[in-house]
Amino acid sequence: MVSIMFFLKNKIQVCSVFIILSLFLFTGCSTKTLQQGQLQNQESQNVTIKMLDIGQGDSVLIRTSEQVIMIDTGDVDERERLLSLLKKEGITTIDKLIITHPHSDHIGGAYILFKQFNVKAVYDNGQTTNTKTYQTYLKWIKDKNIAYKQVLAGDQLDFGGGVSFRIFSPTAQMIKADGDLNADSIVGKLIYGDFSMLFTGDSEAETEKGLLKTYGKELKSTILKVPHHGSKTSSNRNYLQAVAPEAGLVSLGAGNDYGHPHQVTLNKYNALNIKLYRTDQDGSITVTSDGKTYNIQKEK
């Protein structure tokens, strides 16, 4: 009996020590977990904008703390590259796919996205064309029953995590007039706190003229996606002065058939002291912002 009592007492002591130790360890661990959690939370509050090195075309991957967004998908012959770039980024779901206009160097990779990823919603300007690439795009949206919405000037999309996308162009009238596909590209401003970036698709000088008149100072953005792969048919001086970006990002393929970027365009940016980053020379370009400051990283 005594030995049993002793055994129990001993066991209680051992248990007590064990419980105290556990509590200590548990408290220690939970503090550490909390710190890591806070760090992760701070990191995930950033917006990351990656202009993919996708040859002659456009494709931009945007990640906020809540969503994955893509603006354009590169050309048909770059589909496999797009797929590998996105897989490398660990992408499985695309919350929003925005197509600026239905030319193949912007819409060409949509097929592989629909086939390989969970694309939740597609947004475009509603302008149609009769190319096979565009018909395939429509067919996949329909077959996979993907949410689709036309967006026009005045609309706003929520990218989650405090990031919004304000659409400036095209207007309903521009689409009704069934004008030039490039000129009617979706132009929109991503806004996150003090940071902003203007996305322009292949919009043209005439688009810029209209935007200046309607939006003026509201065009001002931290960074500009240089319109139409650096073509001389856009990037008007007045427009650049209104947007007044600190840097411009150009997406284009080395030695492309169009001679992009045109020298006169490069000169305009140079004269205004706007630093240019180019996917043909720098590889993929990544912009990260916490809503106050930002940094730009080149792959090469």
Minimum CB separation from Zn ion for residue 223, in Å? Answer: 19
- What Å distances lie between residue 88 and 54, 85, 103, CA to CA? 14, 5, 26
Minimum CB separation from Zn ion for residue 261, in Å? Answer: 12
With CB under 5 A as the contact rule, the residue among 72, 75, 95, 105 that binds Zn ion is 105
Minimum CB separation from Zn ion for residue 252, in Å? Answer: 9
Nearer to Zn ion, 24 or 258 (CB): 258
The Cα–Cα gap between 103 and 224 comes to 21
User: Per CB under 5 A, which region of 32-40, 101-109, 128-136, 147-155 contacts Zn ion?
Assistant: 101-109
Nearer to Zn ion, 191 or 198 (CB): 198
Contacts with Zn ion, 183-202, as mask; x by CB under 5 A = -------------------x
End-to-end CA distance of the chain: 79
Question: Does 282 participate in binding Zn ion (rule CB under 5 A)?
Answer: no
The Cα–Cα gap between 82 and 55 comes to 10
Question: Does 75 participate in binding Zn ion (rule CB under 5 A)?
Answer: no
* Contact residues for Zn ion, defined by CB under 5 A: 105, 202
